[in-house]
Amino acid sequence: MSTEFDVTPERRASLLHYFYRQFFVAAPQVSPRDVDLSGKTAIVTGASVGLGLEAARQLLDLGCKVIIAVRDQSRGERARREITEGRDISPDMAEVWKLDLASYDSVTRFAERARGLEHLDIAILNAGLYKAAETFGPTGYEEGVQVNYLSNVLLALLLAPIIRAKKTGGAGPGHIALVSSDQAAWARFEERGARPVLAAFKQPMPRWDSGERYGTTKLLAQLFVAELARRVPAADVAVSLPNPGFCRGSDLGRETSGLFWLAYRVQCSVLARTCAVGARTFVAAATTLRAAAHGQYVEDGKVQPMAPFVYTPEGQRVAKQLYEETLDELAFAGVRDIIDGLSQSK
């Protein structure tokens, strides 16, 4: 967290800077001249459409085998055909695996299946929810918190030792990218004073605010990864938080309707990037920044500050509390032992 930035967290979080980035800044495309991923394997979640699909396409362009992780197998197969047709590649260069982040069991089964891969070098955890209405899942947590935060953290921790053991040769670590968002910087995070903090997300909000909840889920991930990076070095596996910016065609607004749908469509037409541009930051984090992105927020292809709250004394206190509570919540999967193992050199 001692990285020097070219902008302060507060300035980066301003709307003026957000508009500047959306209109005038974009990550450079990683080309085969820059990176050769031949022989490597990547998992991309939420890869049936939008950002995940574009990330899978760009990784395939670099010679990487891709695992398209999706809830709907048929949509995943359509995505696989879309990115492989017309290419002179072997059929096994793109596979479709089922994954439902609303279910801890699905996450653990998916990770167990990943153990059978010959190689695993990259995981781009892109799947997420932007809930139009407040709903709670089988674990008791609000669904956005369950999917965007708890299940994604669980998947990242379960995949980390697999990547450590199965990454292909060459310099640098494997990489896990937990996709972040500008909205993390704007979240009020009114649950920050709760004791325990995670339990607050089993209670209904006084008034449902979809943007606030989505931003908070992304802020939770920033707080957790900042703590994780203090304990786990990037020697074998780096964990980053890339933000694609606001992109049209991402399918994030699929639950919106009525006036909210209209407002979303207007924003898309005025502000949004293409998913092809947004996905470049995922690929850059995993292929060119690599260890330099460990524990960091990545935007437009370079390391940038996280939400201002992360750097405050209160944010650092809440991060430690959240970190311990999250490991307790995921204790059934042996995550503390996993982290202890990652903290030790081979």
Tokens for 124, please give them.
């781009």
Q: Active site includes 166?
A: no
Give the rounded distance of the alpha carbon of 321 from its chain centre: 21
Q: Catalytic one among 104, 141, 214, 323?
A: 214
Give the rounded distance of the alpha carbon of 59 from its chain centre: 16
Q: Is 172 left (phi over 0), alpha (psi -120 to 50) or beta?
A: left
Q: How far is CA 147 from CA 44, 137, 303, 331, in A?
A: 15, 10, 25, 17
Tokens for 196, please give them.
């325990």
Tokens for 248, please give them.
């049209």
Terminal C-alpha separation, the chain:
25
Q: Active site includes 180?
A: yes
Q: Catalytic one among 131, 166, 167, 218?
A: 218
Q: Active site includes 90?
A: no
Residue 42 per-residue DSSP state: E
Q: Where are the beta strands (DSSP E) in the chain?
A: 41-45, 65-70, 94-98, 122-125, 174-178, 237-243, 247-248, 273-274, 297-299, 302-304
Q: Catalytic one among 180, 181, 240, 250?
A: 180
Distance CA 159, CA 115 (A): 9
Dihedral sign for Cα atoms in the order 217, 220, 224, 226 = positive
Residues annotated as catalytic (active site), given as ranges: 180, 214, 218
